[in-house]
Amino acid sequence: MYTLEPAVCADLINKSKSTVVLTGAGISTAAGIPDFRGPKGLYVTRRYDPELVFEIHNFHRSPEYFYEFTSDFASAVKDIDPTFTHGFLARQERAGLLAGIITQNIDILHQLAGSSNVLELHGSYRSATCQSCRTQLSELNYDWWIDSMRDSTRPPIVHCPTCGGLLKPDIVFFGESVNGYDRAEAMVSGCDLLLVLGSSLNVTPASLLPYSTSAATVVVNRGAVMLPPGPQRFFVDEDLDVYFRKVAEHVTF
Ligand SMILES: [Zn+2]
């Protein structure tokens, strides 16, 4: 049995005028993107150490380590389609019922699903900045990264087309500040319904966002979540797509 029946969740969504969604890796695992930290995650299967892959000093010292991970990640991601739940959120936005999505993911599946108001707390591979001349390249995609790494010498490192400096994707590394946290906090504090999807809320500062609202909060995640119970908090331990297919039967948009 659910702690929040899908029909009741749908009722909350139907009544909401300003839903905000916070998503984590769990929303993308059904698409086939490995949860980095999960048992089948890239970090484990490919023996990448997450503390090193996204560690800024290590990036400058040994960029090939990050770029080898990027090569594997981009290969894994480029043929992947968004999940049912990604599509559900895009429909919600088109219906004018979604104030925005805040994501911890770097896989751009929300945008591929059709969502446009997406705040990427940890950045993404869609743009990159030269570490020497500070030129920013925008509107990149995974194909570009794959092609660029194929063109470069081994180990794969992508250099700035202008000056030849080291190119760093605009992903937030450990030791760097997340993007737009103040805006995320304002979004959450202004919502009338918060959906936390596929996040165990164990990475700060994203994990602090649910504390910014007293609105109804629905957390759907496989496994434990680092958020204490509250009068308006509902926890569902279920596969996201399984749950939201049932919710979708009851929504009116
Ligand atoms: Zn440059």
Does the pLDDT at position 79 exceed 90? no
**Predicted model pTM:** 0.90
Residue type, 15: K
Domains of the chain by start residue, with CATH: 1-33+82-122+178-253 (3.40.50.1220), 34-79+124-171 (3.30.1600.10)
Residue 236 backbone phi and psi in degrees, to 5: -125, 115
What is the SS3 assignment for 156? coil
pLDDT of residue 111 exceeding 90: yes
The stretch 48-72 carries a mean pLDDT of 88
Q: How far is the CA of 1 from the centre of ligand 1 (A)?
A: 56
**Which sign, positive or negative, has the C-alpha torsion 14, 87, 109, 202?**
positive
Q: 127 C-alpha to center of ligand 1: Å? A: 14
Displacement of CA 86 from its chain's centroid (Å): 11
Tokens 């043929």, located at residue: 79
| Residue pLDDT, tens place only, 5-48 | 999 999 999 999 999 999 998 998 877 776 555 555 555 555 67
Mean pLDDT over 189-206 rounds to: 95
Q: How far is the CA of 111 from the centre of ligand 1 (A)?
A: 28
CA of 136 relative to ligand 1 center, distance in Å: 8
Q: Which two tokens stand for residue 221?
A: 């995640």
The 10 Å CB-count burial string (b at 16+, else e) for 95-131 is eebbbbbbbbbbbbbbbbbebeebbbbbbbbbebbbb
In whole angstroms, give the CA distance from residue 161 to residue 170.
16
What is the C-alpha separation between 148 and 191, in angstroms, rounded? 41
CA distance linking residue 242 with residue 31, whole number of Å: 13
Q: pLDDT tens digits, residue range 138-182?
A: 988 888 888 888 887 777 899 999 999 999 999 999 888 999 999
- State the pLDDT at residue 69: 85
Distance 112 CA to ligand 1 centre (A): 29
Q: Which residues are catalytic, by number?
A: 122
